[in-house]
Amino acid sequence: MNLVPFFHQLAIWCTLLTAVVVSGFTYVVVNEEGWRAQDGTLDVVATCGTGVYYYSEKALEESDPQYLLYQEGEGLFYANCYACHRIHADWTGPSLAGVTERRSKLWLYDFIWDNNRLVKRGDQQAIELIEAWNGSVMTRFEWMTTDQLEAILKYIEVETEDGPTVVASQKNAGCY
């Protein structure tokens, strides 16, 4: 009896479960400045005990012609990127704030589709990025269309401009 396919499937499911658990439980971290949000992508976060509240003012109104693109990008980001990336903080992968200012869209498309291909071609930016993250490579998203990538990048651009915002800071506010 060949158990290799069984263990292969088991490894895939364990990896997916780990990614879901890790990404679902952490939103706020402590640093030397006190509590701060990992990113500004949630509308409201309140932490009982610290009384610090964070939210993201959406920079695009529903009347904005780019709103539907932003909204599609938000869904794609949470479905495909959020397990490893945050907008305003490093996570399993690097922070994505300002990524469209640091890299060209064509380079980003190539990296997202297949970063290994860029490394094999000798692309220095890709090599340095992967080395900076201890050799960790990003999942390939070859199935994504340029329209889908454009939507994700629009979402990242808007959230980068907007940034996380502190709306209240009162010790033990809202705790019962």
Domain assignment of residue 175, yes or no: no
Inside any domain, residue 159: yes
Angle value at C-alpha 122, between 117 and 125, nearest 5 degrees:
90
C-alpha 37: how far from chain center: 13
At residue 73, the 3 state secondary structure works out as helix
Q: Domain range for residue 68?
A: 4-169
pTM of the model: 0.61
Whether 176 maps to a domain, the answer reads no
Of 62 and 40, more confident = 62
Q: Is residue 174 part of a domain?
A: no
Query: Which amino acid, residue 151?
Result: A
Total domains in the chain come to 1
95: Cα within 13 Å, side-chain hemisphere: 16
* % of the chain beyond a pLDDT of 70: 60
Among 6-15, 36-45, 109-118, the range scoring the smallest mean pLDDT is 36-45
Give the CATH number of the domain where residue 151 resides.
1.10.760.10
In the block, residue with structure tokens 């990404």: 23
Would residue 111 count as lying in a domain?
Answer: yes
Query: What's residue 66's pLDDT?
Result: 84
Residue 64 confidence class, pLDDT cut points 50, 70, 90? confident
Q: Which pLDDT score, from 0 to 100, does residue 78 have?
A: 95
Angle, vertex CA 127, rays to CA 122 and CA 131, nearest 5:
155
Please report whether residue 70 resides in a domain: yes
Residue 8 binned pLDDT confidence (cut-offs 50, 70, 90): low
For residue 129, the model assigns a pLDDT of: 95
Percent pLDDT > 90 in the chain is 49
Give the model confidence (pLDDT) of 106-125 as tens digits: 999 999 999 999 999 999 99
The answer to the question of residue 59 being in a domain is: yes
For residue 163, pLDDT beyond 90: no
Q: Is residue 79 part of a domain?
A: yes
**d(Cα 46, Cα 25) in Å, to the nearest integer?**
14
